[in-house]
Structure 1
Amino acid sequence: MKVVVIGGTGLIGSKLVGKLGEHGHEAVAAAPNTGVNTLTGEGLAEALEGAAVVVDVSNSPSFADDAVMEFFRTSTSNLLEHSAKAGVGHYVALSVVGTDRLAESGYFRAKIAQEKLIRESGRAYSIVHATQFFEFVKGIADSGTVGNEVHLAPVLIQPMASDDVAAGVGRVAVGEPLNGIREIGGPEQFRLDELVRKGLAAKGDRRVVVADEQARYFGALLGERTLLPGPDARLGEITFDNWRAQQ
């Protein structure tokens, strides 16, 4: 089966391409550095020719509100149009657990818009909602940093390793279209401040993590369970400590 992975040279995409290849599929890494640009349409027709599945794991180069909205709207519209013309039978996109509960954030408003375009396209599709990746703990810390303090809401989070994300997306990609959402998450729950405190300490980062119920998460206020998947989520196996040991 030919599977085209948009964003196929990034963190998740490169792992996904590798896992699909290991299972005998023809996995094509499509990204600007391989001559495929979803914003301009360059290279899309050629990459999608003969593909059974397209998987979009790309991300905006800018998280500024207007830029991220423009990226996801333009990229998704172009990809839907070109994949329909190519006769691609299954459209898969990676999104985020809790997206619909995070509309205060410009980034998540853009993800909501992306998902709406896919759902309303009339295409056979699957959307995978993943919890936050272990690899982004520093990014979470940076977003909440004021001086030498990191302000984070002490809410629950169930993060996962990027290897488990890629495996979860891969299973959906080679299956029948869900025409709905599949949630995936990690095997353990943490408090967000606790997770980041552990992650920074492991790297020798001396910033002080402060539990602050009013702290925003990429612009959005969080409830106790905003970042958690539901009870039917498929859970990965890699724990945070095991992941750290591998780094």
Structure 2
Amino acid sequence: MKFAVIGGTGLIGSQVVSKLNAAGHEAVPHSHSTGVDIISGQGLDEAVAGADVVVNLTNSPTFDEASPAFFRTSMDNLLAAARSGGVGHVVILSIVGADQVPELDYYRAKVLQEDILAAGPIPYSIVRATQFMEFVDDVLSWTADGDTVRLPATPIQPIASKDVAEAVAEVAAGAPLNGMRNVAGPEVFALDELGRVTLAHKGDGRTVVTDPTAGMFAAVKGDVLTDKDAQLAPTRYADWLS
């Protein structure tokens, strides 16, 4: 099968391309660096021409109120190009629990992306993943101040990017779900405790203070970012840290 992976040079996209090609498919990465702009549409028709499946792994450059416009424009452009190119399956990556956190602009934007795809003319699949292990350092940096990192006790279920890529590649190579598949890491942590585990492993002497008002995840109520019924990935956080 031939795959056009839009956003195919990023953290997840590059791994998806590698996994599909290793499985004997033809997966071609497309991004700004290859001359494809999903917002202007430049190079998009050529990128998807002849592809059996399009995997869209592009992401908004911001997490704020501008993110819905990014996903609306990018999905409208992508679906138009895919329809013209005769593509039979479109896959996107989203977030477990995105529809349960309407307070966050970015999560509302991801739900908008899902809705546009589901309402579109092409068979589709949505892979929803929990928070990436690779992003934990970024989360810590958002609320770091001197010797203190403030974090809420929000439950999260971190997953390694390689496991996300494996799930995306598997779904993309299969029949369209016309629905969602949730994938998650094998363990649930409170975010503040995950911060302590991370800093201890790095020998970082900063103190994590539990603060229910700190950072983006303060808007999350309950355990909506976890899913005990999801397809569980094998990589445990301690093993990933090591």
SS in 1 for 2:39: coil
Could you tell me which of 219, 225, 235 is aligned with 2:232? 235
Q: Which residue of 1 aligns with 2:196?
A: 197
Count of residue correspondences: 242
Q: Map 1:12-27; keep pairs closer than 5 Å.
A: 12-27=12-27
> Are positions 1:57 and 2:57 aligned together?
yes
How many angstroms does 1:6 deviate by? 1.1
Q: Which residue of 2 aligns with 1:226?
A: 224
In 2, Cα distance between equivalents of 1:58 and 1:206: 36
In 2, Cα distance between equivalents of 1:207 and 1:226: 28
How many angstroms does 1:225 deviate by? 0.9
SS in 1 for 2:216: coil
Q: Which residue of 2 aligns with 1:153?
A: 152
Deviation digits for residues 146-198 of structure 1 (CA, Å, limit 9, x no counterpart): 55432222132111100000001111101111111100001111111111222
Q: Does structure 1 conserve the Cα–Cα contact (< 8 Å) formed by 2:71 and 2:110?
A: yes
Q: Does structure 2 conserve the Cα–Cα contact (< 8 Å) formed by 1:39 and 1:78?
A: yes
Q: Which residue of 2 aligns with 1:113?
A: 112
SS in 2 for 1:81: helix
Q: Does structure 2 conserve the Cα–Cα contact (< 8 Å) formed by 1:216 and 1:222?
A: no
Letter paired with 1:13: G
In 1, Cα distance between equivalents of 2:171 and 2:104: 27
Q: Which residue of 2 aligns with 1:39?
A: 39
TM-score by length of 1: 0.92
In 1, Cα distance between equivalents of 2:149 and 2:127: 30
Q: Map 1:124-139; keep pairs closer than 5 Å.
A: 124-139=123-138
How many angstroms does 1:9 deviate by? 0.3
SS in 2 for 1:142: helix
Deviation digits for residues 82-115 of structure 1 (CA, Å, limit 9, x no counterpart): 0111011001000001100111111111111111
In 2, Cα distance between equivalents of 1:32 and 1:60: 13
Q: Does structure 2 conserve the Cα–Cα contact (< 8 Å) formed by 1:138 and 1:200?
A: no
Deviation digits for residues 20-69 of structure 1 (CA, Å, limit 9, x no counterpart): 01000100101000111101111111111110111111112222322x22
In 1, Cα distance between equivalents of 2:12 and 2:143: 24
How many angstroms does 1:205 deviate by? 3.6
In 2, Cα distance between equivalents of 1:129 and 1:144: 26
Bigger shift: residues 81-90 or 205-214: 205-214
In 2, Cα distance between equivalents of 1:101 and 1:215: 19
In 2, Cα distance between equivalents of 1:183 and 1:239: 17
Q: Which residue of 2 aligns with 1:70?
A: 69
Q: Does structure 2 conserve the Cα–Cα contact (< 8 Å) formed by 1:36 and 1:47?
A: yes
Letter paired with 1:20: L
Deviation digits for residues 193-216 of structure 1 (CA, Å, limit 9, x no counterpart): 111222233334443212223335
% identical aligned pairs:
49
Let me know the Cα RMSD of the aligned residues: 1.5
TM-score by length of 2: 0.94
